Amino acid sequence: MKQNVPVAEIMTKELITLTLSNSLYDAEKLFKKHKIRHIPIVEEDKLIGVLSYSDLLKISYADVLDDEDDFMDVSSVVYDMYSIRQVMAKVVVSALPTATIKEVTEILSKQSFHSIPIVDEDNMLRGIVTTTDLLKYFLKQYSQ
């Protein structure tokens, strides 16, 4: 297995982001359209938070409702009550593009979240690495 590979080699660079002016409806549409689970929240390209799909599920009670119509009703009410600022994770663990894949894997293995935004020294968002990205990388190593 390759040693000291920078996370920049596997991070997603074409990012889907939101700002504080977006709504939770906007977030849900992006999660579903792009089949993603984490959306960085930016202000002038600087990382200020991360919204995960599980954050939306927590506030909408989606996991306790079986009927899709009930889910839509609850989601509508809840999405109108909260803003992205209120729901997003504000204290975000991030890494530099020069961090190694091993370092990022160690961080994720000790935390309850499943993505790490990659930022430069000025906190400008450059990419994101998810546990799925890491699993794909490790599987690729075994097939070589």
Q: What is the dihedral of CA 81, 58, 53, 88, to 10 degrees?
A: 60
pLDDT value for 2: 73
pLDDT bin (cut points 50, 70, 90) of residue 21 is very high
Instruction: Could you list the beta-strand ranges (E) of 53-133.
Output: 115-119, 125-130
Residue 1 lies in a domain: no
pLDDT value for 71: 43
pLDDT digits (tens, 9 = 90+) for 45-94: 999 999 999 998 888 764 444 445 444 444 566 788 899 999 999 988 99
Q: Structurally, how many domains does the chain consist of?
A: 1
Q: Find the CATH number of the domain harbouring 91.
A: 3.10.580.10
Q: Which residues pair with 119 in a beta bridge?
A: 125
Task: Find the domain containing 100 and state its range.
Answer: 7-143
